[in-house]
Amino acid sequence: MQSSDIDKIKIKRVLISVSDKSGIESLAKTLHQIGCEIISTGGTKKVLESAGLPVTEISKVTGNPEAFGGRMKTISFQIESALLFDREKDAKEAASLNIEPIDMVICNLYPFERVKKQGADFDTLIENIDIGGPTMVRAAAKNFKYVAIVTNPRTYPDIVEELKANDGSLSYHTRFELMRAAYNATADYDAMIATTMDETAGVLSQRMSYSQAIELRYGENSHQSAFFLKQNGTSDSLYDMNVLHGKELSFNNLVDMYSAIDSVRDLKKSGCAVIKHNNPCGLSEGADQRKVFEQAWAGDPVSAFGSVIAFNRKLELETAKFLDLDNENKMLRKFVEVIIAPEFDQNTLDYLFQNKNLRVVEFDPARLTTDKDVKFLYNSILVQNPDDKLKDKAETVTQAQMKVDDNLLDFGLIACRQLKSNSIAIVRKLKNGDNQLLGMGCGQPNRVNSTQLAISRSIENLKLEFTGSESEVNAYIQQEMGEAILVSDAFFPFPDNIELAGAAGIKKIFQPGGSIRDKSVIAKCDELGIAMMFTGLRHFKH
């Protein structure tokens, strides 16, 4: 922004033409009280006159009536000139043309987006394309040095306050900020119309705009700069989280937070996800939140160090105490980067705030809804529908049969869906009825490696939890692995994964199916006495 000799301008003449009339009476009354002439159109004029305000009909300025069902109201040489002429260089010419300046425009546009969401037909959409409004907005914005352009009703209270405090004047800074908002408003408006017309033609186009940039300390690595922005036109986003405590959020924190929230949002019971490097190394759901947290943490206690943790229910004090933040032995305090939950009571917050660096974020995973999954590549984007369906079927394809626990299967599919491909999740139902991610393998270039990782992690966890004699541990592992289920995000291309699973004691496997070698994979299951079901849907996550 460049400095200007014209810091404040007196608002003497204002044009008001709004589709959204919320709050307009209060602003208009303030303008009247400071001595402004108010020019207005159609429905807006009626609202203002009903409030007892004197209004100049716009036709008295344009010299023409409103015409063509309201399609022509403000577009005219007189109006656009009153907005656009340079008050210093063009003053004499404007006077010779009988152009009286307009110092402020208050305008919001026809509700094209709203009528579209209401399912309006094509003709109705066309009628809700505003022409005169954007023309006025852009003209006033271009000449912001002398004209204030107000496009958002949420700014009305601040405008009123400044006008009252400055004897009916607005500062250059305010006018500049209003100008920026105006051009963003018309850009988003035109983008919505353009994409809708493309959609009507059966052509996909995507226009997105972002603002309110927050500069982060750095990006994924310290030599990278990074910013966090909110998509314009959205009523809710991760940007709108409530950060209650702790250090500034980092780029990696935010990426992991999204994965954590996404991991628990579809869980039916009280759920907890422990995220490390964008993957759930721990996941559990059940009735007792403290127990669920413990079970999720036990999924990989080593990786849980420095993790991001999300809950899908209000965080209870007893659950938070599992972190041991007040332990006199600091080495026994559990270090995590971020705790996310839909709600916290004050006692829980007081406990968490003992760690001055712990980021505490209020965000309800139920808010996380999207109709598009977008990935940015070099000067291009990929757009797809979200992966919001778990399975098409549960079809047993082996000689060995099994009774399906639908809740555990869904839990396993949710876990597998969150893991980077190739992914394997081994999940189990505990004796208390809770579901737990026992072990996972992910992000490997071949499925065998992922299967090996999931098995080794599961066996290590079972060894850690076993409390019997050393001679009995192998039997315990075989028993628990036999009751667990192994879920794969995609089909098995060869029987080698089945051999690994069988050797580890796995007796139940779920996979999408669809490989040209399905028959050999099924045959290996039959040979080893393993039951296998096809779910019909894969869950690649790249």
pLDDT of residue 1: 43
Give 3-state DSSP helix, strand, coil % of the chain, rounded to 5.
Answer: 40, 20, 40
- Sign for the pseudo-dihedral over CA of 240, 241, 245, 249: negative
What one-letter code names the amino acid at 102? I
419: Cα separation from own chain's centroid: 19
In degrees and rounded to multiples of 5, residue 227 shows phi and psi of -140, 155
Beta carbons of 332 and 322 less than 8 angstroms apart? no
Beta carbons of 131 and 67 less than 8 angstroms apart? no
pLDDT of residue 532: 96
pLDDT of residue 3: 44
Question: Can you give the pTM of this predicted structure?
Answer: 0.85
pLDDT of residue 458: 96
Superfamily for the 8-200 domain: Methylglyoxal synthase-like domain (3.40.50.1380)
- Count the Cβ atoms, other than its own, within 10 Å of residue 513: 22
In degrees and rounded to multiples of 5, residue 103 shows phi and psi of -95, -15
- What are the tokens at 329? 């032995």
Superfamily for the 384-534 domain: AICAR transformylase, duplication domain (3.40.140.20)
Dump strand ranges (E) for 134-209.
148-150, 169-171
Q: What is the DSSP letter of 101?
A: P
* C-alpha to C-alpha distance for 51 and 243, rounded to whole angstroms: 42
| Partners of 38 in the β-ladder | 14
- 356-413 pLDDT, tens digit per residue, is 999 999 999 999 987 888 899 988 999 899 999 999 999 999 999 998 899 999 999 9
Tell me whether the CATH fold assigned to 222-229+237-367 matches the one assigned to 384-534: yes
pLDDT of residue 453: 97
Instruction: Count Cα atoms within 13 angstroms, Cβ side, for 231.
Output: 11
- What are the tokens at 402? 């099994």
Digits of tens for pLDDT over the chain (542 positions)? 444 457 899 999 999 999 999 999 999 999 999 999 999 988 899 999 999 999 999 999 998 888 888 888 888 999 999 999 999 999 999 999 999 999 999 999 999 999 999 999 999 999 999 999 999 999 999 999 999 999 999 999 999 999 999 999 999 999 999 999 999 999 999 999 999 999 999 999 988 889 899 999 999 999 999 999 999 878 899 999 999 999 999 999 999 999 999 999 999 999 999 999 999 999 999 999 999 999 999 999 999 999 999 999 999 999 999 999 999 999 999 999 999 999 999 999 999 999 999 999 999 999 998 788 889 998 899 989 999 999 999 999 999 999 889 999 999 999 999 999 999 999 999 999 999 999 999 999 999 999 999 999 999 999 999 998 989 999 999 999 999 999 999 999 999 999 999 999 999 999 999 999 999 999 999 999 999 999 999 999 99
Given 8, 21, 142, 321, the catalytic residue: 142
Active-site annotation holds for 277: yes
* C-alpha to C-alpha distance for 463 and 477, rounded to whole angstroms: 7
**3-class SS letters over 477-512:** HHHHHHHCEEEECCCCCCCHHHHHHHHCCCCEEEEC
Beta carbons of 170 and 14 less than 8 angstroms apart? no
- Sign for the pseudo-dihedral over CA of 201, 378, 251, 218: negative
Burial class (CB in 10 A: 0-12, 13-18, 19+), 51: middle
Beta carbons of 485 and 467 less than 8 angstroms apart? no
pLDDT of residue 67: 84
Active-site annotation holds for 142: yes
Stated as kind and residue range, the H or E segment containing 293 is helix 289-297
- What are the tokens at 231? 């998509």
Does domain 222-229+237-367 match CATH 3.30.559.10? no
Given 277, 314, 321, 420, the catalytic residue: 277
- 322-337 pLDDT, tens digit per residue, is 999 999 999 999 999 9
Q: For the chain, give every domain's residue range.
A: 8-200, 222-229+237-367, 384-534
In degrees and rounded to multiples of 5, residue 381 shows phi and psi of -135, 155
